[in-house]
Structure 1
Amino acid sequence: MVLLESLTTEGRQLDESKLFQTACTDEAALIEVLARRTIAQRQLIKEQYKQQVGKSLADDLDSELSGNFQKVVLGLLMLAPVYDAHELRTSMKGAGTEEAALIDILASRTTEEVKIINLVYKKKHDNSLEDDVCGDTSGMFQRVLVSLLTAGRDEGTAVDPALAVQDAKDIFEAGEARWGTDEVKFLTVLCVRNRNHLLKVFEEYKKVSGRDIEDSIKREMSGSLEEVFLAIVKCLKNKPAFFAERLYKSMKGLGTTDSVLIRTMVARAEIDMLDIKVEFFKMYGKTLYSFIKGDTSGDYRKILLELCGEDK
C-alpha cells in the first residue's frame, strides 16, 4: 500500500509532490504524520491520497492495521462530529451498550456541537441519534440523554440571582429534603440553564444543603443516571478536569479501558489537551504522559504519547 512520507514544511503548506512514497505500511511514518497534523491537514492528506492513489486512505489503513493502534489512526482521520457520531454508533450497536461513550460525548459537547452530531449521525445511518438512543437505553437515564440530544441548553451568559436561589432550593427539595428523588427537577435545571447561571446555582445549593451538588447526586442516585448527572456538573465546572479524571480512571488499577482512553485522546487532542495535562498533574501528582507510557505498549503507546505531547 502506498503511504505518507513528507507532508509539510515547518508546519506550513502541504507539499503534494512528496506525498505517499513508501510501498508498505510504515507505522512510524503514520505516527509522525497523523499525530502531528491538525484535523484540517489530515483532511487534505485524505484528499491527496485519493487523488494520487484512487482509493480511500481510511479503507486502506483499515485493512492494513489492527487493534487499538488502528482505532486511533482511523479516529484521527475523521472530522470531530463524524468521530463523535461514530463513537456513539459503536457504543450502541451489537450486544450491550457502552454508557460511558454516551455520557462522555453528550454531557461535554456544546449545543452547536450536538446539533451537528445529530445531523452527521442521521446522514450516515439513515436513523436519528435520538431513536437509536431510545432503542438502547431506558428510564430516567434515557430521558436525560434525550434532553441533552435536543441541544436546548441556554448558551447565553446571563445569571438570574433570584432564579439561581430558587433552582438550588428546587433541587434540594427534589433530593436531599424528601424521601425518594424527583430526578425530573434535576434534569430540568441541569440540562437547560446556561453555564454561568448553573455555577451560581451550585454555589447557592451548597448554602442550602451544606453539601456540594456532586455529593448530593452520589447520595441520591446510582448507576448510569448518577454518572450522567455527575458528568454534566463536572463539565460545567471544569471540563479539562472532567477529562483528566476519565483518563485516570481508564488506566488505573488492573487493565485499561481502551475505548475511553482512545476516545478522549483523539477527541480532545486539538481542543484542550494542554489543559487536561495540567489538571491531570494537579489532581494525581503524575503526568498524563507517564501514565500512558506505563499503561500501553507498542505503536499504540507511541501514537498516544504523540497526541499527549511532552512529558510535563
Structure 2
Amino acid sequence: MNSNKDVMLPNFLGEDTLEVGHRGTIKDYPGFSPSVDAEGVRKAIRGIGTDEKTLINILTERSNAQRQLIIKEYQAAYGKELKDDLKSDLSGNFEHIMVALVTPPAVFDAKQLKKSMKGTGTNENALIEILTTRTSRQMKEISQAYYTVYKKSLGDDISSETSGDFRKALLTLADGRRDESLKVDEHLAKKDAQLLYNAGEKKWGTDEDIFTEILCLRSFPQLKLTFDEYRNISQKDIEDSIKGELSGHFEDLLLAIVHCARNMPAFLAERLHQALKGAGTDEFTLNRIMVSRSEIDLLDIRAEFKKHYGYSLYSAIKSDTSGDYEITLIKICGGDD
C-alpha cells in the first residue's frame, strides 16, 4: 500500500499492513540532515535557558525514523543520550511529549503498556486501546521491544495483571496473530456470524471463547462483513449482543474491537474527546494517541473528531492545554479543521 519507495529509513510502522495509511500529519522532512538537526537541538538545549521553539520545530517536523537518526548523530557528536538531556532540561507534560517524540514507536508502545500495568490498579482503557489498534506486525515489534526493555515478556505481565476472559483476549491480541489481508470471504463471514449467534444470543449462558477467537483473529474487513451477516441472522447489531451477553473489561475490549473494525479513526477520536473533555486533561492518553498516530492516520482522526463533536481537535487542544506543551501538540495536530 506504500507508494513512497524512496524511504531508506527503517519503517517501524509496517508499510504493507492494513490500517497503516499515509494519513499522518507528520511526514519525512525534505532536505533532512541529521548532523545539522543534532547541532540545532544541542544549541537549543545548551544555551542559557532552553530555546523551546527551535526544539519543538525540529522534533515535530521530522518523522520518527528521522528523529532516530538525529539521536544517533547527537550521541556520536556529544557523547550523550538526547533523551537524557531532554529529561534533565525540560519538565512536566512538555518533557513527556518531547521524550515520546524521540522514542521509537515500538518502544514507546511497550513503555505505555508497562505504565498501564504498573503500580496499584491497571489502566484497562490504555491496554485495550493499544492492543486493539495495532497491526499484527506492530504487536510483534512491541513484544520484542517490551522484552528488550524490561527483560520480561509482555504476555507474562498481562497474565499477572489481568484475569479471566479479559486476560485471554488480551493475550490473543498481544500475540499479533490477527489476519491482515484485505481479502474478504463471504462464506467464512456467514459461518462466523452463525457461530457468534450460537455462542451468545441463542444459548443459555455465553461461550466467550468463540467471541475471543473470531474478534481477535479475523481481519477488520472480514469482521465488518461478519457483523453485517450477524445482523441478518439475529436482527440485532453485534454491539447490542455483546452488551447484553458480556460484562466488565471483557465487554469493553470486544466493543473496542468492533468499533475499530467499523472505523478506527472514529474510535481514536472518541478516546481523544474523552481525554480532553471535563475537568483535567488525561495527558497519558492524549500524548499516546497524538504521537503514535501522527504518521499513520491523524488526519482521519481529526476529520472524525470534527464530524462527531462539531469542533476541531485543534481547538479542543488549544482550550485544554497551555504553554510549550500546547504548542507541541498543535504542531503534531498539523492544522485546524
Same-fold call, TM cutoff 0.5: yes
Q: How does 1:76-225 map to 2 (within 5 A)?
A: 76-225=101-250
Shift of 1:16: 2.4
1:12 is aligned to 2:50: no
Partner of 1:302, secondary structure, is: helix
What residue in structure 1 maps to residue 68 of structure 2? 43
1:266 aligns with 2:291: yes
> Are the counterparts in 1 of residues 83 and 99 from structure 2 also a CA contact under 8 Å?
yes
* Residue ranges of structure 2 left out of the alignment (5+ in a row): 1-28
Residue 160 (structure 1) shift: 2.8
Contact persistence 2:201–2:241 (CA under 8 A): yes
Deviations 1:197-218 (A, max 9, x none): 2111010111122222122222
The answer (yes or no) to whether the contact 1:205–1:212 under 8 Å persists in 2 is: yes
Letter in 2 for 1:13: F
Which one-letter code corresponds to 1:78 in the other structure?
Answer: T
Shift of 1:72: 0.7
CA RMSD of aligned residues (A): 1.6
Offset of residue 15 of structure 1 = 6.2
1:6 alignment counterpart: none
Distance 2:172 2:180 in 1: 15
Equivalent residue number for residue 31 of structure 1 = 56
Q: 1:21 aligns with which of 43, 49, 53?
A: 43
Quote the offset at 1:255 in angstroms: 2.2
Q: Which amino acid aligns with 1:137?
A: T
Deviations 1:174-211 (A, max 9, x none): 22233432221111111122223211101011112222
- Runs of 4 or more above 4 Å deviation: none
2:34–2:73 CA contact under 8 A, matched in 1: no
Q: How far did 1:310 drift?
A: 0.9
Shift of 1:269: 0.8
Q: Please give the alpha-carbon distance, in whole angstroms, between the structure 2 residues aligned to 1:183 and 1:306.
A: 43
TM-score normalised by structure 2 residue count: 0.85
Cα distance per residue 1:73-120 (max 9 Å; x no partner): 111001111111111111112222111221111111111111111111
Moved more, 12-21 or 202-211: 12-21
Maintained 8 Å contact 2:100/2:291: yes
- SS of 1:191's equivalent in the other structure is helix
Q: Distance in 2 between the 1:70 and 1:220 partners? A: 44
Q: In 2, distance between residues paired with 1:67 and 1:244?
A: 24
Shift in CA distance, 163/11, structure 1 to aligned 2, threshold 3 Å: closer
Q: Which amino acid aligns with 1:237?
A: R
| Count, aligned residues | 303
Structure 1 contact 100–260 (Cα < 8 Å) conserved: no
Partner of 2:6: none
The answer to whether residue 95 in structure 2 is matched with residue 70 in structure 1 is yes
What do residues 141-190 of structure 1 show as CA deviations (whole Å, max 9, x unaligned)?
10000011112222233333232112112212222233432221111111
1:209-252 residue CA offsets vs partner (Å, 9 max, x unmatched): 22221222223223311221111111122111111111111112
| Cα distance in 1 for residues equivalent to 2:215 and 2:222 | 10
Deviates more, 1:186-195 or 1:148-157: 148-157
Structure 2 CA distance for partners of 1:196 and 1:308, relative to 1, 3 Å: same
Could you list the per-position Cα deviations for residues 252-282 of structure 1 after superposition, in whole angstroms to 9, with x for gaps in the alignment?
2222222111110110111111111111111
AA aligned opposite 1:243 = L
Identity of aligned residues (%): 47
Instruction: Tell me the TM-score normalised to structure 1 length.
Output: 0.92
Which 5+ residue runs of structure 1 have no aligned equivalent?
Answer: 1-9
After the TM superposition, which of the residue ranges 170-179 and 57-66 deviates more from structure 2? 170-179
CA-to-partner distance for each residue in 1:46-66, whole Å, 9 max, x for gaps? 122212221111011112222
Correspondences of 1:234-253 after superposition (within 5 Å): 234-253=259-278
In 2, distance between residues paired with 1:192 and 1:171? 14
Distance in 2 of aligned mates of 1:36 and 1:65: 19
**What letter is aligned with 1:21?**
K
